[in-house]
Amino acid sequence: GAADEVATGNLDVAVPVRQSDGDVASLGETFNNMILELKSQRNELLSAKDLIDERRRFSEAVLAGVTAGVIGVDPYGIVTIVNRSAETMLAISASAALGQNLSAILPHVGRVFEIGR
């Protein structure tokens, strides 16, 4: 039953362990330790995700107030962020540009990126 709970995402389960159960008790302790480790790792991942989201929101807030046009790209030239000024100056849509290759959207800017890279 505990394994089924874990399979559905519930990591707040534990199997009862009685030392008189011998090897089954050892298996139960191992299972409980595994669940505790999974729960700890999940919490660390959620915390890291929250931190990344917070930083992203901060960056977006800063870029929203900048009058210069800013386009962020990853190391492969994929657009990750476009501020409003860049949308206006370059006549592009941020929602359409996100996830696209810079060279496909703005070939002249993409060429400069490729040379610089």
CA dihedral in degrees (29, 32, 37, 43; nearest 10)? -160
Mean pLDDT computed over 97-108: 94
CA dihedral over 60, 64, 68, 70, signed as positive or negative: positive
7-42 per-position pLDDT tens digit: 999 999 999 998 888 888 999 999 999 999 999 999
Q: Are 105 and 97 in contact (CB under 8 A)?
A: yes
d(CA 91, CA 88): 5
Name the architecture of domain 66-117.
Answer: 2-Layer Sandwich (3.30)
Assign 3-class secondary structure to 29-94: HHHHHHHHHHHHHHHHHHHHHHHHHHHHHHHHHHHHCCCCCCEEECCCCEEEEECHHHHHHHCCCH
pLDDT-derived band at 102 (thresholds 50, 70, 90) equals very high
19 against 99, higher pLDDT:
99
Q: What is the pLDDT of residue 40?
A: 95
What is d(CA 71, CA 69) in angstroms, rounded to the nearest whole number?
7
- pLDDT range class, residue 117, cuts 50, 70, 90: confident
66 pLDDT exceeds 90?
no
**DSSP class of 100:** S
Structure confidence by residue, pLDDT tens digits, 71-85? 999 999 999 999 989
Q: What is the chain's mean pLDDT, rounded?
A: 92
Beta-bridge partner residues of 73: 79
- Mean pLDDT value across residues 58-68: 84
Query: Average of pLDDT values for 85-105?
Result: 93
